[in-house]
Amino acid sequence: MPPKAKHTREEIINKAFEMARKKGIDAVVARELGKELGTSSSPIFTAFKNMEELQKEVRKVAMREFESYVRDALNYTPAFKYVGMKMIEFATKEPKLFQLLYMREHQGNQTYAMLIDELGDTVEVCIKIMQKDYSLSRQEAELLFRQVWLHTFGICVLVAGKVCRLSPEEISEMLSAEFQGTLMLIKSGTFKTIPVNDAK
């Protein structure tokens, strides 16, 4: 009978998550994780094929942590703004987890659609709320979501990277201005893409 594993998969994932939360995912290497567990790296590779598999599991835990921030969005009005505020709060309080989920490099061509897909069900909920609350078509709601989400994401990157610090009041004002401005432009029917041409 093979010896009983010293640490379960769950224990290893939880310890790796704690490390990623404090120091970032790059700090989660086999030797250092083994030290944190009080053992060698052997139990890690007994439970996981490689470190990439473990890191994927850590990302799942990080995503659940993010989802806990926005889970009750439908209890607030406007719900979409609440999601934006909570996303920025997550980036502020959990910068390493935000970086793990949304600021990592991707091999190949990561499109906007692929990035949005990683957000899960939150996107669809927001788009349906926009359609209902502001009498928008699906296409209009998707455009509004894209513009405001990209603006929100930019603020998240600033706070997660500690580039600048913003108060909740400043964040609320920024999100309202972007949302209302984009909504007014869409409702006016004058939105169009303006190309940049050579002035010569």
Domain boundaries, given as residue ranges, for the chain: 9-56, 71-188
What pLDDT score was predicted for residue 185? 93
Contacting residues for 2 by C-beta, under 8 A, at least 6 apart = none
CA distance 161 to 158: 5
What pLDDT score was predicted for residue 5? 56
Residue 122 vs residues 45, 80, 117, 148: alpha-carbon distances, Å? 34, 9, 10, 14
One-letter amino acid of 53: E
Contact present, 44 and 12 (Cβ < 8 Å): yes
Residue 148 vs residues 24, 133, 193: alpha-carbon distances, Å? 27, 16, 17
What pLDDT score was predicted for residue 19? 96
| 3-state SS class at 78 | coil
Q: Shortest CA distance to 133 belongs to which of 191, 80, 189?
A: 80
Stretches where the chain sits below pLDDT 50 are 1-3
What residue has token string 């979501």?
A: 145
What pLDDT score was predicted for residue 124? 84
Neighbours of 23 (CB within 10 A): 12
Superfamily of domain 9-56: Homeodomain-like (1.10.10.60)
Task: Identify the burial level of 29 via C-beta atoms within 10 angstroms of its C-beta, where 0-12 means exposed, 13-18 middle and 19 or more buried.
Answer: middle
